[in-house]
A and B are shown apart, each in its own frame.
Chain A
């Protein structure tokens, strides 16, 4: 019944992340949590939509946003979603090294995304004087995008902790579910971003 022996081809279940009770619970729990997160972001999006024209004489979305940086950020995050799929693919094939490699790439892409975001915010603040307090639009923009960024930071910390903790242990039935739940969470961050670039940036450029 102990969980600590590593997997070999013989003990390898079809999906190691769901082979134990704990694994199944984590899997369901994370999904249900994402249902709640959907509503959380829905409310931030709703607030943003209501306030996006409340610029109080300050910069508007057309003044601020630029397509190239947002496109770069989108590609970074979408790609990181794919690389985490690769990681889980190698997990199912019980190839620990490759899994870690792809997770590492995922982390780098995430960091790249975050760097772009920090650059973007700094740019708005310094070049436009557009801050969290400038207008209701400013508050809503930074809160929505910032909460997403916060999720990226949390996801990265989670990923790095997992990788460091399990670097020497290899894959087993105890940690496989943890990697899998992380990957789900990471995809969800991507889902939210798809709506952010569409609703905040693209729609902000249009209207």
Chain B
């Protein structure tokens, strides 16, 4: 047999493995790949937007295409890049941190991924089928009702699919954390990343249904002639805004809380100190989540809800700065007096603190409803949310990549390239967005295709675009780093960072059953405790015994394909009733898969004791 043939066989075997996997680590990697892909796509769209705005009255792209770009950029980044990347990390790391062998519902986990991914693909199909959605990532009615063509229909169906996937993962993580912690892993011994995963999942559970409902209403109005947002028949378009932001504001905390968790792992590890104020951190996380649900109308100050409602929401909004401030100070105190190691992961974490704080400060400014009448829908808002989302979430994702890459892929990312990527991206980020605060204050509105000459906006926009190129370079260096590391990277030991938590007690990358024996957790930072007491490794909590594992399955993929086909049916049945066939056929496939799933017993398999013994540590 030729070498090429065996290689091909191996490739298709790996492919099949990933298509049918229910292993939380592989699902996590799929999430990272999917989210990474959409991150690049969204980045490309951002670059196009910035090129259009490089000079006054530019005509790099048409006004219509510009609207599609900003809509797809926002939608892609929030729903298809940031959220899935974070869910990928949570999927991979959280079970390891609590000493579990998988998540509670491995099948649903895989289904959640495929739904997210197909939703993203569906949304992007619109580019080739008559135009992407163009009503903004917020899709406000009546604009989104009036928007011609099928772009917004793709928005509706794509987000409905990926939203369903996200909701499933949220429930999955919750059950996993509640029911699958290793012996001794009490709640107040859980690492902060696990805690933030927990709280994020609660937010997901309560926030995504509001989006689901909003999307249904929009779908019914656009595709089936209902009148929710049709003023002529008594409808009311403010309903959409409420539903969207009841989801939307918690969503921004769904994005930021996990990276708060990441920094709470990275900073103690590289300061060689335990996290300062652990219980305050946990409490602050809950408080942020709780308050985060009561502030959504700060996105609607200028709608005209009245001074009473506006004031209530303004006060609640500003209150969030308190728990957030607690966190900032705890991170600073964690580093205080520690023996700090500066590497790429730590650089991202250090850069996060001031960058995010600026974003939080402008947030409080925007939260003052009176002032917001000036800021609203200007570039000031654009600057604000990029400071929190890029300076917070994206920096956090980079830090997490550097920190957990060795665990996930068994190799350490190259430090030199890591630092280069950091500096170019960091400088580019501030170049791009800092100046936007002032552009906004000078009156530049957001979402406009062109701006005029000699209004004092030229230089600012030019600088902003230059910054965008710096960020692009940083991202490319990071990609090169990934490829380089995959080929030539330094092999990682189990615990390359001299770290503190359970995921570092098992080999890098971990075996598919994660823990040969459940570890016995004796306190917060369990590995660190064993190290300081001179054991250096965990004491098992159980004798070596056979391990029960779930079976892989192709059903999640097929079920998702069914929903995918049905979505096309929904979108195009307004043109021609023959498309109803696609709708019914797709639904039949999906429901068929569900029936098969419930009729066929899936008992999983066991890894025998002998097999485990044979495997070296």
Contacts and interface: CB of A to CB of B under 8 A. Distances in A.
Contacts of A40: 209, 212-213
A43 B213 contact: yes
B234 A51 contact: yes
A98 to B, nearest CB: 23
Nearest to A55: B234
A103 B105 CA distance: 26
A87 B246 CA distance: 39
Given A137-B234, A139-B228, A1 B175 contact: no
Interface string B56-81: 00000000000000000000000000
Contacts of B207: 39
B416 interface: no
B529 interface: no
A3 to B, nearest CB: 6
B336 to A, nearest CB: 39
B138 interface: no
B599 A136 contact: no
B105 A29 contact: yes
Contacts of B175: 25, 28-29, 32
A53 B224 CA distance: 21
B601 interface: yes
Nearest to B212: A40
Interface stretch (B153-161, B235-243, B262-270, B401-409): B235-243
Contacts of B236: 50-51, 54, 136
B616 interface: no
A143 interface: yes
B225 interface: yes
A47 B232 CA distance: 17
B228 A136 contact: yes
Interface stretch (B120-128, B214-222, B440-448): B214-222
B595 interface: yes
Nearest to A142: B226
B233 A174 contact: no
B226 A24 contact: no
Contacts of A43: 209-210, 213-214, 243, 246
B206 A25 contact: no
Contacts of B224: 132-133
A81 to B, nearest CB: 23
B226 A139 contact: yes
Contacts of B548: 1
B595 A161 contact: yes
A21 B601 CA distance: 16
In this complex, the interface size class of chain B, counting residues with CB under 8 Å from chain A, is: 35 or more
A165 interface: yes
Nearest to B603: A3
A37 interface: yes
B174 A47 contact: no
B206 A36 contact: yes
B216 to A, nearest CB: 7
A140 B105 contact: no
B171 interface: yes
Interface residues of A, number: 42
Nearest to A37: B209
B256 interface: no
B179 A24 contact: yes
B212 A132 contact: no
A161 B592 CA distance: 12
B92 interface: no
Q: Identify which of A2, A35, A36, A135 gathers the most chain B CB atoms within 10 Å of its CB.
A: A36
Contact of A138 (B171, B221, B227, B232): B227
A56 interface: yes
A29 B228 contact: no
Nearest to B232: A56
Interface string A159-186: 0011001000000001000100000000
B206 A135 contact: no
A136 B234 contact: yes
A29 B209 contact: no
A174 B171 contact: no
A132 B205 contact: no
Contact of B599 (A3, A28, A165): A165
Q: Identify which of B170, B226, B606 gathers the most chain A CB atoms within 10 Å of its CB.
A: B226
Interface string B165-187: 00100111011001100000000
A56 B235 CA distance: 9
A101 B592 CA distance: 27
Given A43-B210, A135-B233, A165 B598 contact: yes
A44 interface: yes
B208 interface: yes
A191 to B, nearest CB: 16
A50 B167 CA distance: 26
Q: Identify which of B105, B174, B209, B601 gathers the most chain A CB atoms within 10 Å of its CB.
A: B209
B104 interface: yes
A36 B171 contact: yes
B230 interface: yes
Contacts of A39: 205-207, 209-210
Contacts of A134: 227, 233
A36 B204 CA distance: 9
A21 to B, nearest CB: 8
A135 B105 contact: no
Given A36-B209, A54-B236, A136-B235, A47 B227 contact: no
Nearest to A132: B226
B226 A133 contact: yes
Contact of B220 (A21, A55, A143): A143
B599 A161 contact: yes
Contacts of A178: 598
Given A36-B205, A136-B227, A54 B239 contact: no
23 contacts: A2-B603, A3-B601, A24-B179, A25-B104, A28-B104, A32-B205, A35-B205, A35-B206, A39-B205, A43-B209, A43-B210, A47-B239, A47-B243, A51-B236, A133-B227, A134-B227, A135-B233, A136-B230, A138-B226, A143-B216, A143-B226, A174-B603, A178-B598
Interface of A: 1-4, 21, 24-25, 28-29, 32-33, 35-37, 39-40, 43-44, 46-47, 50-51, 53-56, 132-140, 143, 158, 161-162, 165, 174, 178
Given A43-B246, A47-B239, A136-B235, 14 more contacts: A1-B546, A4-B601, A29-B171, A40-B212, A43-B214, A50-B236, A51-B239, A55-B234, A132-B220, A134-B227, A135-B233, A137-B234, A161-B599, A174-B603
Q: Which 7 A/B pairs are nearest by Cβ-Cβ distance?
A: A54-B234, A139-B226, A43-B213, A40-B209, A136-B234, A136-B235, A39-B209
